[in-house]
Amino acid sequence: MAALLSIQGLSISFGGLTALSDFSLEAPAGAITALIGPNGAGKTTALNCVSGVLKPDAGAVSLDGRPVLGLAGHQLARRGLTRTFQNLQVFGRMSVLENVMVGLHGASRREFGAAMLRLPGVRPEERAIGERAWEVLEFFGLAAQAGQPADQLPYGDQKRVELARALAARPRLMLLDEPVAGLNPAETDALGSLIVKIREQGVGLVLVEHDMSLVMRVSDQVAVLSGGRLIAFGPPSQIQADPEVIRTYLGGGEEFGLVA
């Protein structure tokens, strides 16, 4: 598997606190790479560095072999890297459909002048955006709620809206920051299946998650962070048996009971 995302020697500290230290990771296309670790291990910080929200002190990040560090969020989106957020970031007062349409922003290009004057080309583009958005809504089972303001949906549905928005523009890589946090077991199960279906489309996924049973069920490879350092990396079965991982993160063996 050729690396779609390659992170090399990423380091960042806030004041005296080292959040990430010499962190390297490769994530292939069409696979789910889970990033786990205790709170404060640097998982979200890593996602924020990759997605252009934070600027690391050192290191390199490349997407498809091209360096992407220092690019702004919207430039990354245009190159096929999208993300969801740990604390839900839907556009609450916009409809579910519009939320997904915003996800297609980078895939379309008519700007202010053309939009105001309704130049030829605006309408076909709008139609294309709309069609793709409906397609994505149907994939996520959100078509019935398309016209509702996003903030009126149940929490679990809002999580799916965010995921739909991130998938809309057919990204190559999606970063998911705790996609099932706050969901009940049934919703977690359903979302897990959706993530697997996204992988089947050839999208590479990096998944930050605390729900170990989900991680072990869907991941192709697992990276374990602790104190900003990578302490283990491998397939789920290997990670579950890793003595250091068990000691620093998983604790006792009871978690494994959840894995079928």
Partner 1 sequence: MTRPGRTFAAVLAALALALALLPLLVRNPYYLNVLNVVALNVLVVTGLNLLIGYAGQISLGHAAFFGLGAYISGILTATYGWPPWPTMLLAACLVALIAAMIGVPTLKLQGNYLVMATLGFNLIVSVLLVQLDDFTGGPSGLSGIPPLTLFGAALNNDLSFYWLAWGLALLGLLLARNLVHSRVGRGLRALHESPLAAAASGVPIEAYKVKVFVVSAVYASVAGSLYAHYYGIITPKTFDIFKSVELVTMCIVGGMGSLWGSLFGASLLTPLPQLLEVVEEYKDILFGGILLVLLIFLPQGLVGWLEGRRSSSGRAF
Q: Which residues bind partner 1 (CB under 8 A)?
A: 51-53, 72-74, 76-78, 82-83, 85, 89-94, 98, 101-108, 110-112, 115-118, 122, 125-126, 129-130, 162, 165-166, 169
Least distance from partner 1 to the Cβ atom of residue 183, Å: 19
Residue number with CB closer to partner 1 (69 or 94) = 94
Least distance from partner 1 to the Cβ atom of residue 11, Å: 23
Residue number with CB closer to partner 1 (153 or 166) = 166
Residue number with CB closer to partner 1 (82 or 219) = 82
Least distance from partner 1 to the Cβ atom of residue 116, Å: 4
CB-CB contact of 56 with 68 (8 Å): no
Q: In terms of Cα–Cα distance, which of 75, 1, 73 is closest to 32?
A: 1
CA distance 165 to 157: 12
Would you list the DSSP string of 56-88? -SEEEEEETTEE-TT--HHHHHHTTEEE--SS-
Would you say how long the chain is, in residues? 260
Residue number with CB closer to partner 1 (133 or 230) = 133
Least distance from partner 1 to the Cβ atom of residue 144, Å: 16
CB-CB contact of 21 with 195 (8 Å): no
Alpha carbon separation from 242 to 20, 23, 137, 208, 224 (Å, rounded): 21, 19, 40, 19, 10
Least distance from partner 1 to the Cβ atom of residue 245, Å: 30
Residue number with CB closer to partner 1 (6 or 84) = 84
CB-CB contact of 173 with 5 (8 Å): yes
